[in-house]
Amino acid sequence: MDKMGMEIIQERKQILIEEEASGTKGAAGRDLLTLLIRSNVHDKDGGMTDEAVLARKPHPYTYDTRR
């Protein structure tokens, strides 16, 4: 489960970075996990570690509301 969670975090981070680079928004979603990651990406002090974000993950069936 943790491996899958870390893969999802990395995937969402990449989508957020690509969104920022291209000026588009919305592809990553608006779920709690994505909002935590988005907050960390913009935190100048480094924010939470990926492991800390993973510890606050929602139920596995609510990871990706786009599917």
pLDDT interval class at 63 (50, 70, 90): low
Enclosing domain of residue 7: 2-61
pLDDT digit string, tens, across residues 15-60: 888 888 888 777 667 778 888 888 887 777 878 888 888 887 655 5
Mention every residue, 6+ apart, whose C-beta is less than 8 A from residue 22.
none
49: in domain: yes
pLDDT of residue 36: 83
pLDDT of residue 58: 57
pLDDT of residue 50: 84
30: in domain: yes
21: in domain: yes
Domain count, the chain: 1
11: in domain: yes
